[in-house]
Structure 1
């Protein structure tokens, strides 16, 4: 894994812990620690395996270089012998492969023969048990044994075909092996001197091929382990991103709820002020009506008329409506009777 990828990944992981100061007191999700531990473990495992893989490849390159130098030295010294003995060693490789194939064919033939033997034995038992005979009674046909007999017969046919096929393969591989052995013997008698001189070269080459195959298997194993570790790393990173998204959405939802509550509180405050405005508007309307009534009756408005609109809503409820007429409890003698009559009607109107 490159340093750029690791740095970008670390930057993504650091965003999980980025939060405003008022959100630092939130309880840490335990999944974050688990996935961070898994992420760190997978990262260390990837680095270790990649380092080991590089070491194995370096060892393979060194072994190859060393073998190349040895080959060059042997070819300079035993070049002609190596060329002459090459068919012999190639024939030995073919003979070894033919011998392995012949052994596999022999094992397959033995298994097919055993299966055929077991199937025939099952057929024999099923034929005997198919008809149940009791003392003094007629034979009773048994359908279960009949089904067993049918299945065993099918297995016998399949086993016979498998044994015949394996027998043909065994004979074929046996002929190939015998032919390879004769070829090896012929070449050995023909190029014995060259073979003896070039044997160290071919033995070293065989050891190198064996070592190279071991290196290849080790590298393939390490590649599989690295792939598995990277899968764990990716999974842990995806989990952390998902947790980060969940935390972000939770915080956004919390902020939204706070804004809604704040808006509701502001709405209630605005509603109280509107109610107060309505009360003052009604008060001004009553004040204006009282002034109009006083003027129409020819009365001079008192101080209460001019200060009525300035009363609060909890004060104007106790206002004496009779005082709107401007009449005192002790009537003045200078007022004309007609005026008192009108004033009395005004008191009646106001009382209503």
Structure 2
């Protein structure tokens, strides 16, 4: 991931340099019209942003109206059911539904009021922005037409750079995740190392003496079985370590591709050396 991240960053920088050079060439070619027409292009961008916000507010307002309508229908249904029920056989479930529906209606009405206000405000801002843009369009018509190639090229590079930036961010997130997995694998190996050290200390102390006439209780067999299970755990953790090292551009092919016994000996060498 580090290589892919660096490649993405280099592509971003290359396009940024290219955009700067090309736009400077356009400025020299077009001249003063670029600076003179900037108010119009800025007003156009502001109008576009206001349009997006107005559309979002409209959708939220319509959604609030639908929620309020559904909540009122639920209340009507619950009230009708309660009126049909015999008072001696009062349905507590429908009463609870009615209470919830009433609460939902109150919340939906508040949401509708809030979104309605926001809808009106954003619509007013959009109308103001469009009006200002059209005034500048009439006033700066000649300079706008002359500078159009520059601003269209600028918009093209802007979109391209945004896409490259998203790609860089994605690679950065994946690299961060890979490093976290690598650290986890290292901690697991440290845990296994501690367990092996503890087993060595116990072995150095030697086995307890057997009493006269004591019979074999299968302890040695159990130890071998337990050691087999422990080694399997080491192998699985080492495999995870190898994968993470591969991600982090660390060469552990000899340990990752060897036989099970080689892998175990190699892991023990790393942990205990």
Matches within 5 A, 1:1-352: 49-132=1-84, 142-257=91-206
- Displacement of 1:133 in angstroms is 6.2
Instruction: Write out per-residue CA displacement over residues 83-141 of structure 1, whole angstroms, 9 at most, x where no aligned residue.
Output: 1111111111111111111111111111111111111112222222212367xxx8965
Instruction: Write out per-residue CA displacement over residues 15-44 of structure 1, whole angstroms, 9 at most, x where no aligned residue.
Output: xxxxxxxxxxxxxxxxxxxxxxxxxxxxxx
How many residues in Structure 1 have an aligned counterpart in Structure 2? Answer: 209
Partner of 2:247: none
TM-score between the two structures when normalised by the length of structure 1: 0.55
- Displacement of 1:223 in angstroms is 1.1
Q: Which has the higher contact order (CA 8 A, sep 6+)?
A: 2
Tell me if the contact between 2:78 and 2:94 (Cα under 8 Å) persists in the aligned partners.
yes
Distance in 2, Cα, partners of 1:225 & 1:170: 39
Distance in 2, Cα, partners of 1:176 & 1:165: 17
Tell me if the contact between 2:85 and 2:91 (Cα under 8 Å) persists in the aligned partners.
no
Partner of 2:216: none
- Displacement of 1:184 in angstroms is 1.5
SS of 1:58's partner is helix
Tell me if the contact between 2:44 and 2:133 (Cα under 8 Å) persists in the aligned partners.
yes
Tell me if the contact between 1:132 and 1:142 (Cα under 8 Å) persists in the aligned partners.
no
| Distance of aligned partners of 1:72 and 1:124 in 2 relative to their CA distance in 1, 3 Å threshold | same
Where does the alignment leave 5 or more consecutive residues of structure 2 unmatched? 210-273
Tell me if the contact between 1:132 and 1:141 (Cα under 8 Å) persists in the aligned partners.
no
Distance in 2, Cα, partners of 1:247 & 1:139: 74
| Distance of aligned partners of 1:252 and 1:180 in 2 relative to their CA distance in 1, 3 Å threshold | same
Distance in 1, Cα, partners of 2:188 & 2:91: 64
Distance in 1, Cα, partners of 2:47 & 2:176: 39
Distance in 1, Cα, partners of 2:64 & 2:202: 72
| Distance of aligned partners of 1:244 and 1:158 in 2 relative to their CA distance in 1, 3 Å threshold | closer
Tell me if the contact between 1:131 and 1:142 (Cα under 8 Å) persists in the aligned partners.
no
Distance in 2, Cα, partners of 1:142 & 1:255: 75
Q: Which protein has the larger Cα radius of gyration, Structure 1 or Structure 2? A: 1
Where does the alignment leave 5 or more consecutive residues of structure 1 unmatched? 1-48, 262-352
| Distance of aligned partners of 1:149 and 1:246 in 2 relative to their CA distance in 1, 3 Å threshold | closer
The CA RMSD over aligned residues, in Å, is: 2.1
Tell me if the contact between 2:53 and 2:122 (Cα under 8 Å) persists in the aligned partners.
yes
- Displacement of 1:145 in angstroms is 3.3
- Displacement of 1:180 in angstroms is 1.2
Tell me if the contact between 2:47 and 2:129 (Cα under 8 Å) persists in the aligned partners.
yes
Partner of 1:19: none
